[in-house]
Every structure is written in structure tokens, then in C-alpha cells.
Amino acid sequence: MTSKEYKTITDIKGPLVFLEKTEPVAYGEIVSIRLSDGSEKNGQVLDTSDDMVVVQVFEGTEAIDRKAGVKFLGDVFKLPVSKGLIGRILDGAGRPRDGGPEIIADEDADIIGAAINPYSRQSPHDFIQTGVSAIDCCTTLVRGQKLPIFSASGLPHNDIALQIARQAKLRDSDEEFIVVFCAMGITAEEYNFFRSDLERTGALENAALFVNLADDPAVERLITPRLALTAAEYLAFEHDYHVLVIYTDMTNYCDSLRQIGAAREEVPGRRGYPGYMYTDLAMLYERAGIVKGKKGSITQFPILTMPGDDITHPIPDLSGYITEGQIVISRELHQAGIYPPINVLPSLSRLMGSCIGEKTTRDDHKKVSDQMYAAYAQGRELRGLVAIVGEDALNERDLQLLKFADIFEDKFLRQDRDEDRTIDETLNLCWDLMTSIDTKYLVRLDQELIEKYHPEEKKE
Amino acid sequence: MSKNEGVIYRISGPVVTATGIEARMYEVVRVGHEKLMGEVIEIHGEQSVIQVYEDTSGIRPGEPVLSTGQTLSVQLGPGLLTQIYDGIQRPLKTLEEVMGVFITRGVDADGLDLEKKWEFVPTASTGDEVKGGQVIGTVQETDTITHKIMVPPKASGKIKSIKSGEFNVTQTVCKLDDGTEIQMMQEWPVRHPRPYSQKYAPDTPLVTGMRILDFLFPLAKGGAAGIPGPFGSGKTVTQQSLAKYSDAQLVVYIGCGERGNEMTEVLDEFPHLIDPNTGKPLMNRTVMIANTSNMPVAAREASVYTGITIAEYFRDQGYDVALMADSTSRWAEAMREISSRLEEMPGEEGYPAYLSSRLAEFYERAGRVETLNGEDGSVTVIGAVSPPGGDISEPVSQGTLRIVKVFWGLDAGLARQRHFPAINWLSSYSLYPQSLNQWFRDNIASDFPEVRTQISALLKVEAELQEIVQLVGSDALPIDQQLTLEVARMIREYFLQQNGFDPIDAYSGVQQQYAMAQAILTFQEEAKKAMAAGARLQDVVNVPARTELMRARFAEGYLEKIGGLVEAMVVEIAETAEAN
């Protein structure tokens, strides 16, 4: 392959370098740039023609001048993968960050990742018990799902993600998850929090970390999740692991995407984000799932912080259109001192229907979940009314629902950071809490279930 | 002489510029050593701009480009049904056999199985004068669908010979005296509407089995509907329900830029689901196109055209076809992405200026027509729209609403209340009731339109009353208005809410919908009478027979039982007056 060094840079703009008079360069090819002080930077070809090549530089263009030498390495970006990735910490471009040796590769995998043929997918249907009541009961997680956490700055999304990573298991099975953790532009403090928690619980030995911190190059963030997912795919589909990918924070990723778009003078879409952001995000999120004939699976937990707590912001909005539901963290609940502050009302798990019921969780799960949800929703609505007209204007049913909303938050949502509730415990808790409402108002439950489970109406 | 080989000049994502070929617009070309499929979308002097349907990583300037002389076409003939294709009609099953579970590139696959033999039964004879679109024979493709073999639209003449027996789709089954050979397979360029004799005004509803749709906002066979809604409001569930239960004879389902797992769900589910109209597996009447969000964006752009061309082909055989496109917003985004790579001057929100005309052209391919064969056929188009943030003032929603006559507006608030289908009865509309009323009067009940008017009036009154309730509480309302609220609640909870996952409730025939609406009006009538005679509203509402009436809809044979249940309710309501 050509290893000729070009010194034909014409323009340098933001993270982009433009150069001319090259031999034919491949689209997506990896580029190495040698600076006058001898240091090197890496990049990738974004646009190529006979006259002009545009290179996106991962480490930023700082200190690059027109005399810098540019080499095209003849290949697209690849990650060396092997089982040796487990237990390692790598930086945002896939180099060891833990002082350990280079990864000895079994193969080099293309990080862009090909789309899974929809025909070859297998529908996810294995219930994952997270031990968090709000999730297990109301937005049940399924193995192979992509379920983001929609949070905002100042909220404990990291604690929730870690609690899920610690506790997630299949019921009646000791198969564990391997965690692939991908940090994009988070602070060193947040990263240390994740790392020390994974260390404390021993999960670090079963994890691979890809870390791009807030002071690492922003453009590198565009490849970090692709590296993490490439590692996840290799471990899941070549070595039968069940992989849980946690990546945080998607908002930083999208901002890097916007930065590149702006530097290329592309026509921006909403709020300056590029028009192809949906496709770009899909190429990450869609790398979750299970395929026929392979034992492993990839479950994704992306975390994103909604700018201004706004769920209609392009980042949560486009994510919500791709992912299979979302877990929404509420500032209001957090301020009320409730952990985990999950607002179940806008939260959703699209795959829930396929994994709950008699055979997997319990026969009453669906109806109990609907009833809890409906009663809580009505109770919350009544709070607004009470603020205007006072409790006296409420009838008996409304009063019960109003009280139930408080009970729901205090007893059902609230749990300790280390409290791991089984699905049976969660559902029994639901029944206990629902005794505060007259059974005649529990219209979403049928008589049969009431007789089977209701603590006061049970017929043994 | 047109030159058919050139070289790549520039590559920018899915857009490749080539020099040295003299291609026509929308001609299919093969790009690079791997012969990736692409389509010419712009010509600048010597340069042809090509959108490529596969990933272009690793391709270099200087690699060859071949023009094929053809425009992007689909293969039409026996073997389409039960298939699942990508956006450019490559069967996903074949791709799996060739490439494994991940879709790589550079693989060509025929849309139809060229080897499989079908039993061809001629319906025309030697010496018959035939013209384009005329049926000359049939193939029993699945249990329920007889595939009609037609003379290609542009051919005509006298039949010189016609065969009978087992043939594959490329073998000649009929010869005309001008030498034209007719095979069971024909090709058609996807961006061209297929011809028909004339378009009719629609007069028959597409019965979907969803109460809110059929009863309040009916769609006509041959009509077009838009379903906009934010994420999580149930667009896909609604689309899938329509694909399952609507009384179209054939369904083309396009998963355009959506989730992979959703397509898998459809694939897993449809073969086991029974079509309520024929009693056969749903898959037998279905063609699926799946170009998920992470598959190449140019193929996503093509997928809706591939789908509608297949739909038109079955329409031309005299069938009623329903096409679901989920989601047209992803299609529009594909256009935007390509347009931005072409550095075209953008219109609103970065979408190309031709967005609304493309949308209009697409929806205009819906319609009820007289086919070239003189039969009646229709294509009904139902397009999901995914407006950012649920705000339908954006260009794709607006462009769609200008064309479609039915608007089913999904509402995040309703979805949050777990009111499904989360279709807002106040903002949705249908412009078809006028033309469909006669059908409802003739086939369901002579007062059907009047009952519908009463039900929707009640919902409107409720919305006004709710505003007052928000301020003062419901107890402050006069008792007759409180009753109105109860009746409206019955409409919402008993009639409009429908559980798409419940095997029985998921489908309601129109006859049953009418009976249920009547039951609600009977309740209102009887409650008024009883309360005039002194009954308390609370007692009237809580009669057990009413609860039973409402619950029984989840059990089989509801239509037969409903009369008895209503009678029981009437008796119990009357008793509440006597008790006082």
C-alpha cells in the first residue's frame, strides 16, 4: 500500500484538514499526520476526489501547519479485537490507557459495523431483572434491547446505570453480563466514579472500558462508541457473551457531530445538528440485539442528558425514535429526595410485552403494571387539581388515588442503591400498596387476579 | 453512441461523482471494483452524480463506473408474496444465505426466484386480440391470492401461441404475432407510476377493525392517510394493526428507516397470525420491504418507490391493496441527506425544496382505478410521519397534510394515559364520510351517519366541559352535564380504547362498532329517564350490568351477546329510579 508522505495541505479549518495532489485515496481511509515537532495525529478521510481530500483529525488540528506530512494508511479504521479486551481500559481511540500492553488481536474488525440483516435477527424475549422496581414492573428490560436513560445535568443517572449493571441478571440463571463501558466527554470525576464502582464490585475484571474524557479531543468521541460496539459485537457474536453496553454521554457525542458538520459548512438541521444525525445515531443504537444462531447478545444502555430538561430537544427526540423505549429521570422526584427518581409516566419499554407474563415473570405482571401506572397517573393529575380547589372538592375515589400517588413514590419508587428486589418482591409490593385503593376502583385488574393475589381478598 | 464505462472522480459518503459516462438521469450504474449499485441523480457537464445504495468506505477515485442503460426497476411476477426485501428489492433471505447475518456489500440478488416453477393456467387463447395490462393467465401463488399474469403495459397484438403448464418466471408463456414474447415476470421502473384506464372517486371504506378509525375517521379504499405522532405514541403498533386486520386483499408493508427488531417482530408474528377476512395466515397476502435505520440511506430513499410499484402491480390485477409506509419522515430525511451532499440550496429545515412535490407524487399513486384490464383495483396509502418533538408544524407533516384526506393524529398525552390507540379524536379528521355514508347506510345501518354525529358531538361537548372541570371540579357541574361526562367517559373507555394486543378486542367489525355506539346512546337515554324519575347519577353509573356490558367485549361472540347485555342494563337502570 502507498506510504507516500504528502506535504500538500492547503486549508486547515476546525477539525478538518484539506489537501491536494494526492494519488487516489479511499473514502474512509485512515490518515496519519506528522507534525513538525515529530508528534503524530490520526484522522479519517471524509471526502475524496482527484483534486481534493478532506481529512477529519481525531485529536484536533492544534499545532498542525501547512508543512505537516500526511500519510494515507490504505485501510479504513479497525479495532484489534480478542478476548484480551476483557478487563482492559482503553482510550477513546482504542489505545491502552491502563499502562498494560497492546491488545493482541485475533482479528481486526471494521469499526463502522455492518447492519444486521433484519431477517437474521431474533426477537428479544428474555426478561432481565434489574432489581429496580420501577424498571422491572413498569419499563421491563429485555436482553438485546436498547433502552436509553434520558436524564439531565445534576441527576443521579450514573448511579442508576451502575446499579443496573451490578444487579442485572436473568431470572433463575447465573449467566452474567459483561459490561462494555464507553465514556464520551465525561469528566475525570465521573469516570473515576464509574471505575471505582466497577472495581469495588469486582465487575472491572469482566468489563472493557473505552474512555474519552472531557479534555480529550472532541472529534475522537465520534469513534469511541464505534470501538466499544465493535468490541461488544466481537464478544457477543464470536464468544457468546451477553454484553451490556453503557455509554455516556450521548449529548457530548452529538455535539462533536455538530462540530464536524459546522466545520464542513454543511446545511444544518434543527438546532445546528446535522441532518444525518438520525442515521448516524441509528448506526450506533441498531448495533444492539440478538442474531439467529449466535448465543450472545448486546443490550444497550445509552445515557444522555437532555439540554434544559427538554425531551423535544433533537438528541433525546431522535434517540427516542430509534431506541426501544426510554427511562426518564425526573428532577422533581430527585428534589423530593426519592432515589431512583424515575418518572414512569413518560418512560416506556417497547419490548416489555414480549418478555412478561406467566412463563417469564408472573401472570399478573401486565395488569398490575397497567393498574399501578393508571392509578399513579390519575393521582398525579389530581395533585394539580387539589392545588386549585383543595382536597375537599374530591370524592372518595379521587382522595384514594391522590394518596396512592404519594405511596407510590415513597414505597414503590424509593429504594436503596444496593437494594436488589426480585420481580416477585416487586409485584407483591405492588399488591400491598394497592390495598390503599378500594378494589372496585381497580378496574384494570380482573376478579381472578384479585382473588389470587390481593392481600385482603385472597382466596386460598 | 453512449459510453458505458467511466471512472470515479469524487466520493463523499453515499454520493459518488463519476466522469466519462454518458448516463441518463435515474439510470442505474455499477460503482467501483465491487460493482456497488447506484443511481444517477444529477448531471453536470461531464460529471454524473450518483447515489450509491451501499456503504462506500474504501472506494477510491479512479475506480471504474459502468452504466447499465436501465433505470431502477423491480421484478414483478409470481413469488413476490410472503417475501421480505430491502429497499432495492433484494430478498433479505437470499442476502443472509450469501453474506451471513451482517449485510455487507457488492451482492446482487434477484427480486424473484428465477428457478421456481409455477403452474400457469391460460385464460386467453390463440388468436385473441390483447392489449397492455390485459390478463392472459393465472398462477395460484398462495392459498388466498391468485396471481394474474398480464400483458406488459406497452405491448399489444394478437396472440400467436399461449402455453399451459409449469414454467419459471423467465420462460415465455405467450407469443404475440408481432414477435413479442411474454414471460410471467415483467420489470417496471420504480419512479414511474404504472398506467391505468381511469381513476374513480372512492366509495368503499377500508375496514380496519379499529373502532376510532372506522367509525369516526374512516379511510376509503384508494384513499391516503397520514399518521403523525411523536415517539412512543403508537405509530408502529397502529400501522401493524392495520397491516393485520384491514380488509385489503394484499398488504405491502414498508419499514423505512425504522428499528430492526420491529421488522423481526413482524416477521415472527405474521406467519402465525390469521387474516380475519380469509382465515388464512396473514403472510400469504403480505409483501414486506425492510430498510432499517442503519441500512444505506440511498436504498431507504428508494424503498418507498419499490413498495408502491409492487402495490400498483397487484392493483393492476384487480386487487385492493393497502400500503403502509413507516415512516415517511425517514424517507424525507434520506432525501435531505442526499440533497445536502449534493450541496443543493435547502428549503425549510434543510429539506430539499422539492420535498413537498415528492410527497405529493408519492401519495398521488394511491387511488381506486379502472385497470387496463377493465377491473376495479385500488391502492390505499397509509403513511406514518415522525415529527421532531411531536410538533406537526414541520415540513414533512405539513407537506403530507396538504395531500392526504385522512389525518389520524397520535397524541403523546393519550399514550401516557395508556389510552390506546392514542389517536386524538379532537384533532383528527377524515374527508371521506360524505362519499362513504351511502356504503355505511346500505351495509350497516340506515342511521349510521347520524349515530356517528351524535357520538362525536358528545366528545366535543366533553372537551368543553373538561375545561370547566379543571377549574371548579366535576361536582360543581349541573347533574345533566355530569351525566354527559359519564357518557363521554364510556365512549372513551369502552369504545375508543381498544387493546391491539388482545386477540379479541384488537378487531371489531363495523356491525359491532355500530352496536356498541348504540349501546352508549341507549345508556344515555335510559340514564336521563331514570334520573328524571329520581335516580342518583352514581347509582345509574354503577349498575353491574353496565360494567358487564363493557367488560364482555373481551370475550368471543360479543356481537351476538350485546343485545341481551343492553337489555339487562336498561332493566337495572330503571330499577335505580324505583329504589329511590
> What is the tens place of the pLDDT at every residue in B146-194?
999 999 999 999 999 999 999 999 999 999 999 999 999 999 999 999 9
pLDDT band at residue B580 under the 50/70/90 scheme: low
The per-residue DSSP string of A367-379 comes to: HHHHHHHHHHHHH
Return the H-helix or E-strand segment holding A5: strand A5-6
Per-residue buried b or exposed e for B160-173, using 16+ beta carbons within 10 Å of the residue's own CB? eebeeeebbbebeb
> What is the tens place of the pLDDT at every residue in B486-508?
999 999 999 999 988 888 898 99
Instruction: Name residue B107's amino acid.
Output: V
Residues in B touching A377 (Cβ below 8 Å) = 416-418
Check if B467 contacts A (Cβ < 8 Å). no
Give the C-alpha separation, A303 to A319, whole Å.
10
Query: A119 vs B95: CB contact, 8 Å cut-off?
Result: yes
Give the C-alpha separation, B334 to B297, whole Å.
6
Mean predicted confidence (pLDDT) in B312-328: 95
Q: How many angstroms separate the most distant Cα atoms in chain B?
A: 97
Check if B292 contacts A (Cβ < 8 Å). yes
Q: Residue A25 half-sphere exposure, CB side, CA atoms within 13 Å?
A: 30
Q: At what angle do helices A314-322 and A277-285 cross, to 10 degrees?
A: 50
Per-residue buried b or exposed e for B277-302, using 16+ beta carbons within 10 Å of the residue's own CB? beeebbbbbbbbbbbbbbbbbbbbbb
Q: At what angle do helices A277-285 and A224-239 cross, to 10 degrees?
A: 30
Query: B9 vs A118: CB contact, 8 Å cut-off?
Result: no
Give the C-alpha separation, B74 to B81, whole Å.
14
Query: A117 vs B101: CB contact, 8 Å cut-off?
Result: yes
Neighbours of A65 (CB within 10 A): 10
Q: From A286, A275, A177, select the one nearest A226 (Cα to Cα).
A: A286
Instruction: Name residue A113's amino acid.
Output: G
Q: From B375, B376, B373, select the one nearest B135 (Cα to Cα).
A: B373
Give the C-alpha separation, A251 to A302, whole Å.
10
Q: What is the CA radius of gyration of chain A?
A: 25
Considering only alpha carbons, which residue of chain A is nearest residue B349? Answer: A269
Considering only residues 347 to 366 of chain A, which have any Cβ-Cβ distance to chain B shorter than 8 Å?
348, 350-351, 353-354
C-alpha cell at B471: 377549574
Query: CB under 8 Å to B533, separation ≥6 — which residues?
Result: B577, B578, B580
Query: B293 vs A374: CB contact, 8 Å cut-off?
Result: no
pLDDT band at residue B232 under the 50/70/90 scheme: confident
Q: Residue A204 half-sphere exposure, CB side, CA atoms within 13 Å?
A: 16
> Among A16-25, B389-398, B558-567, which range has the highest average pLDDT?
B558-567
Q: From B289, B361, B277, B358, select the one nearest B319 (Cα to Cα).
A: B277
Instruction: Name residue A176's amino acid.
Output: E
Give the C-alpha separation, A189 to A27, whole Å.
37
pLDDT at B1 over 50: no
Quick one: DSSP state of residue B494? Answer: I
Query: CB under 8 Å to B302, separation ≥6 — which residues?
Result: B39, B53, B72, B87, B88, B190
Pairing of β B198-200 and β B181-183: unpaired
Q: From A232, A230, A226, select the one nearest A245 (Cα to Cα).
A: A232
Give the C-alpha separation, A407 to A411, whole Å.
6
Pairing of β A115-116 and β B102-103: antiparallel
Query: A373 vs B418: CB contact, 8 Å cut-off?
Result: yes
Neighbours of B471 (CB within 10 A): 10
Q: Residue A193 half-sphere exposure, CB side, CA atoms within 13 Å?
A: 16
Smallest Cα distance from B435 to chain A, Å: 36
**Positive or negative CA dihedral for A80, A83, A85, A88?**
negative
Residue located via cell numbers 424503498: B303
> What is the tens place of the pLDDT at every residue in B246-256?
999 999 999 99
Q: Residue B121's beta-bridge partner residues?
A: B138
Query: A269 vs B349: CB contact, 8 Å cut-off?
Result: yes
Edge-to-edge, what's the strand order for the sheet holding B157-162? B129-130, B157-162, B172-176, B181-183
Considering only residues 373 to 412 of chain A, which have any Cβ-Cβ distance to chain B shorter than 8 Å?
373-374, 377, 385, 388-389, 393-395
pLDDT band at residue B3 under the 50/70/90 scheme: low
pTM: 0.91
Query: B232 vs A348: CB contact, 8 Å cut-off?
Result: yes
Query: CB under 8 Å to A381, separation ≥6 — which residues?
Result: none
Model pLDDT, residue A1: 45
Query: CB under 8 Å to A400, separation ≥6 — which residues?
Result: A436, A437, A438, A441
Question: Best interface-test mutation with B: which of A122, A279, A291, A439 has the largest number of B CBs within 10 A?
Answer: A279
Check if B370 contacts A (Cβ < 8 Å). no
Residue located via cell numbers 432499517: B292
* Long-range Cβ contact pairs of A330-334 (< 8 A, separation 24 or more): A331/A152, A331/A154, A331/A155, A333/A409, A333/A413, A334/A154, A334/A155, A334/A156
Model pLDDT, residue B303: 95
pLDDT in tens, chain A (460 residues): 447 899 999 999 988 999 998 889 999 999 999 998 888 898 999 999 988 999 999 888 888 999 999 999 888 889 999 999 999 999 998 999 999 999 999 999 999 888 999 999 999 989 999 999 999 999 999 999 999 999 999 999 999 999 998 898 888 777 778 999 999 999 999 999 999 998 998 888 999 999 999 999 888 999 999 999 999 999 999 999 999 999 999 999 999 999 988 888 888 878 889 888 988 999 999 999 999 999 999 999 999 999 999 998 999 999 998 999 999 999 999 999 999 999 999 999 999 988 899 988 999 999 999 999 999 999 998 898 888 878 887 888 889 999 999 999 999 999 999 999 999 999 999 999 999 999 888 888 888 899 999 998 887 6
H helices of A289-415, in order, are 314-322, 331-335, 365-389, 396-407
The answer to whether the beta carbons of residues B292 and B263 sit under 8 Å apart is yes
For A162-250, strand residue ranges (E) read 169-170, 177-186, 207-213, 242-248
